[in-house]
A and B are shown apart, each in its own frame.
Chain A
Amino acid sequence: MPESEKTSTRNPVPPIALRRRVTDHVMTGVAVLTVVLVLVPLFAIFAYLVYRGIGSINWAFLTQTPKPVGESGGGMANAIVGSGFILALASVLGVPLGVGAGIYLAEYGRNRLGDAIRFTADVLNGVPSIVIGIVAYSIVVLYQKHFSALAGGVALAIMMIPTITRTTEEMLLLVPRALREAAYGLGIPRWRTTLSITLRTATSGVITGIMLAFARVAGETAPLLFTAFGNQFWNLRVNQPTAALPLQIFNYAISPYDEWHRQAWAGALVLIILIVSAVAAVRFAVRRGTFGAA
């Protein structure tokens, strides 16, 4: 601003019209306003979550199963463990497939088939989670004849694969070509090079991708509604209905009981804390691991 004024005094260039200057300031103000309007809900959600949730998190909440309606107390221990169980199943199914597909795309995928897989992964990423729930229902639940942790795991695995595939590919392509050539030059076979050199170098990026996918599905409720279904009791069998934290939050939130509302808030807070800490822990471990290797 001062510079334009200086030039206008030096040269007989007409100063910027008032209308244009006002418009400029108004639009800057509008942009700041949009930022405020977007950040308000963010802080409102986190603040309210902590405010309502923190009081209800106690030892019982973390160690007990739900009490029947009308009795106070009880907790979501089975849902927390159930969520971990379903997510573990999903990771076991989804991570190898996703990483494998990413390796294929990065190392062998410069062709039509690679393009088709890339496009398919992007399409899969946009499929609504509830539709994936339907598919898991019809390929697992209909054959098992009842809801199960496995069906939930399959649904979440399908949701994890595209993210893992695309980030793995991106991370592997970041590894310099010279590194691969050096390995080939030492007579190391290609598969060994890919696994021990390329993938090893890209480990932290690949794991970040996995954690992104993990964090995305950890809070998913819709695909679990008619796959894992939920359960008021402990279950760690693959072929039985299993409680999950997001499901429990949903059921409690739409219930008419204050006690359950309170627990829903506590559950939501626990869910967010678990997601954030899982991601943070793995990233921390990965960073230390790669520094050790380097």
Chain B
Amino acid sequence: MALPAPPRPDMPSSQPIETNKVSEIPSAGRRSAHSSWARGETGDKIFQFAMLGCGLAVLGTLALIVYELVLRSGPSWHAFGFKFFAGRDWDPVNEQFGALPFIYGTLVSSLLALIIAVPLAVGVAVFTTEMCPKVLRGPLSFFVELLAAIPSVVYGLWAIFVLVPILSNYVEPFLSRTLGWTGFFTGPSYGISMLAAGIILAIMIIPIISSITREVLMVVPQHQREAALALGATRWEMIRMGVLRNARAGIMGGIILGLGRALGETMAVTMVIGNRPEIAKSLFAPGYTMASVLANEFSEATGDLNLAALIEIGLALFLVTIVVNALARLLVWTVTRGQPARANA
């Protein structure tokens, strides 16, 4: 841009300066080879390797989990093969192991939890993002997330002494009178039941589903709402057509993430489900889940085969939760990717 100025004797031209700079930096490095600059470079290498080591440790941990589970469940896999997942007998004395009652219990209690939790969690999320006054928004989400901070064992304690008596005295008799004909609500109402497990699980997964739903609802573009309102929609119609429809994949992701938590939840379920390896149609009957059988029997496993069978249940639980979680993250990601993680922006 600037015209080449005539060289002046008192001012070196730009060319010599460039070469001068280039040649000076390495020489400066060489000169201070023993000073902090050079040490910094080796320091950088060491530091980077150390941090890489930490990162690889994360990979290694997962690999270790898979390795240990596969290795130690081997005997059971060799003894029963796929029949392990179809067998209904769990008999440590005669070394007969079938995991079906546990798989059934895990699936039924988790599904029950979803049926109860999803409408509530989505309702709370919709209320906090779309309906409630701004002042309430913060405290409300704080309270809902506080539910996630309560330890599982405390949920279990509360369920044993508060929820179960309520169920056996009021809820279960009522359900069996009104809905007994369906076959899902029959039998004696002890309170300790699949139903109790489903309810306590629902309370535990509500914060997860509702916080993810809230996040997803908040990335729905504002103009979707404005467009719906401009067309004369009522607030609910705006929410239904403008917001929920756009967010459904992400909400689905949140629901599946909640499912992942419910599948692996151990303590609270173990304390109220009754721990009987049976498959019953009635939700009033006791059941058993994969996680609870591990909690109850693992430290008292009598033989190698018993231990291997329990670890195989652990492996199955691990694989299912991984698939479920990966699916959930994919769904959440498809919704929020337009908004590249606010924190990283």
Contact = CB atoms under 8 A, between A and B. Distances in A.
A229 interface: yes
Contact of B157 (A113, A114, A130, A265): A265
Given A33-B123, A139-B64, A221-B153, A126 B160 contact: no
B188 interface: no
B55 A131 contact: no
B329 A122 contact: yes
Contacts of A42: 143-144, 146-147
9 closest A-B pairs (Cβ-Cβ)?
A: A219-B151, A128-B264, A189-B40, A100-B54, A34-B123, A191-B47, A126-B325, A104-B55, A104-B51
B55 A109 contact: yes
Interface stretch (A15-23, A57-65, A69-77, A84-92): A15-23
Interface string A212-223: 000100111110
Contacts of A275: 149, 151
Nearest to A39: B143
A38 B36 CA distance: 59
B123 A30 contact: yes
17 contacts: A23-B234, A34-B120, A38-B124, A117-B59, A122-B329, A123-B322, A131-B65, A131-B69, A131-B318, A134-B294, A135-B64, A147-B299, A161-B61, A191-B48, A195-B47, A219-B150, A261-B161
A192 interface: yes
Contacts of B97: none
B59 A49 contact: no
A134 B318 CA distance: 11
Contacts, number: 269
Interface stretch (A232-240, A245-253, A286-294): A245-253
Given A38-B206, A41-B203, 12 more contacts: A97-B58, A100-B55, A104-B51, A117-B59, A120-B59, A128-B265, A135-B68, A165-B58, A190-B40, A219-B153, A229-B299, A253-B156
Interface of A: 13, 16, 20-21, 23-24, 27-28, 30-35, 37-39, 41-42, 44-45, 48-49, 52, 96-101, 103-105, 107-109, 113-114, 116-117, 120-135, 137-139, 147, 158, 161-162, 165, 170, 173-174, 187-192, 194-195, 215, 218-222, 225-226, 229, 246, 249-250, 253-254, 261, 264-265, 268, 271-272, 275
Interface string B27-39: 0000000001101
B153 A134 contact: no
B143 A250 contact: no
Interface in B155-172: 155-158, 160-162
Contact of A116 (B37, B40, B59, B294): B59
A186 to B, nearest CB: 12
A222 B295 contact: yes
A100 B123 CA distance: 40
Contacts of B237: 20, 23-24
Contact of B37 (A187, A222, A225): A187
Contacts of B40: 188-192
B62 interface: yes
